[in-house]
Amino acid sequence: MMITCTQVAKQFVVRNSGAVLCWAVETLTVAKGERVLVSGPSGCGKTTLLNLLAGLLRPDHGAITIADVRIDELDTASVDYFRGLHIGLIFQALQLLSPLSVLDNLLLGARFGRRWSPGEARDRAEHLLARVGLADRRTHRPGELSLGEQQRVAIARALINEPPLLLADEPTASLDARNAGIVLDLLFALSAEHGATLVAVSHDPTVQARFDRVIDATPWMQRAPEVTLV
């Protein structure tokens, strides 16, 4: 398995109300190479899952194993290093750096993997920009691109270190139907080329049929007293 979560829980205090919510999953597995969509309404914990899988959040309880490594047991430096080598992240807000060119955004991503020489990183970045149809935009800054083009840059950046796992947060949420289709086509094609596992989250039911499996996230977030993990 690429991903195994066992009795994982994370508590949150709701701002301004003091209410305690608990995100909890007894078991969740994703096979290597699988393309999985996590679906559900806003606030049910879809992004929480991605943040836990990426090691950006630590669970209060339970075990998270990625590629045979218990990431919940790693210290901060080790989980950052693991993420750079094994996980490609596509954020809902994209998080491209506006002062940098498109090419430099990818090259910066390559530094976190710590596996490429400068020449190799540049060749890799140029190749990916060509694959997503943006070779002629490599010197542009993100603000000079359309939203669909920015999303394609984010996909290329996520793949720069050839990660075995891709995590995508609402990759089509702000796109029209045409650009959403282009983005999904690229995600599936490029993840397949690299044998990468893909976990995406979305509240859009129209994309569900394109994935191998859909997981309903609706039951995950509850008021803390209602959740009991042995």
Mind listing the pLDDT tens digit for each residue in 51-100? Answer: 999 999 999 999 999 999 999 999 999 999 999 999 999 988 888 999 99
- Asked whether residue 43 is domain-assigned, the answer is yes
- Asked whether residue 66 is domain-assigned, the answer is no
CB 142 within 8 A of CB 98: yes
Residue 137 pLDDT:
93
> Residue 177: pLDDT band by 50, 70, 90 thresholds?
confident
Residue 228 pLDDT:
53
For residue 174, the enclosing domain spans 33-60+73-216
- Asked whether residue 127 is domain-assigned, the answer is yes
The CATH number for 167's domain is 3.40.50.300
Higher-confidence residue of 88 and 111: namely 88
Residue 178 pLDDT:
86
Q: Residue 173 pLDDT > 90, yes or no?
A: no
Single out the residue of 62, 33, 163, 31 nearest to residue 110, CA to CA. Answer: 163
- Give the phi and the psi of residue 13 in degrees, each rounded to 5: -100, 125
CB 10 within 8 A of CB 179: no
> Residue 125: pLDDT band by 50, 70, 90 thresholds?
very high
Q: Residue 227 pLDDT > 80, yes or no?
A: no
Please state the domain count of the chain. 1
- Asked whether residue 199 is domain-assigned, the answer is yes
Q: Which residue has the tokens 């205090």?
A: 13
- Asked whether residue 178 is domain-assigned, the answer is yes
3-state secondary structure the chain: CCEEEEEEEEEEECCCCCCEEEEEEEEEEECCCCEEEEECCCCCCHHHHHHHHCCCCCCCEEEEEECCEEHHHCCHHHHHHHHHHHEEEECCCCCCCCCCCHHHHHHHHHHHHCCCCHHHHHHHHHHHHHHCCCHHHCCCCHHHCCHHHHHHHHHHHHHCCCCCEEEEECCCCCCCHHHHHHHHHHHHHHHHHCCCEEEEEECCHHHHHHCCEEEECHHHEEEHHHCCCC
Q: What is the mean pLDDT of residues 136-148?
A: 93
Residue 230 pLDDT:
45
Residue 64 pLDDT:
98
185 HSE (CA, 13 A, CB side): 10
Q: Residue 169 pLDDT > 60, yes or no?
A: yes
- Asked whether residue 209 is domain-assigned, the answer is yes
> Residue 50: pLDDT band by 50, 70, 90 thresholds?
very high
Instruction: Please state, in angstroms and rounded to a whole number, the distance separating the CA atoms of residues 136 and 179.
Output: 18
Higher-confidence residue of 15 and 151: namely 151
The mean pLDDT of the chain is: 90
Residue 226 pLDDT:
55
- Asked whether residue 134 is domain-assigned, the answer is yes
Rounded to two decimals, what is the model's pTM?
0.91
- Asked whether residue 41 is domain-assigned, the answer is yes
Residue 159 pLDDT:
92
Instruction: Please state, in angstroms and rounded to a whole number, the distance separating the CA atoms of residues 5 and 7.
Output: 7
Single out the residue of 182, 118, 195 nearest to residue 153, CA to CA. Answer: 182
Measured CA to CA in angstroms, residue 112 lies from 7, 161, 226 at distances of 30, 8, 40
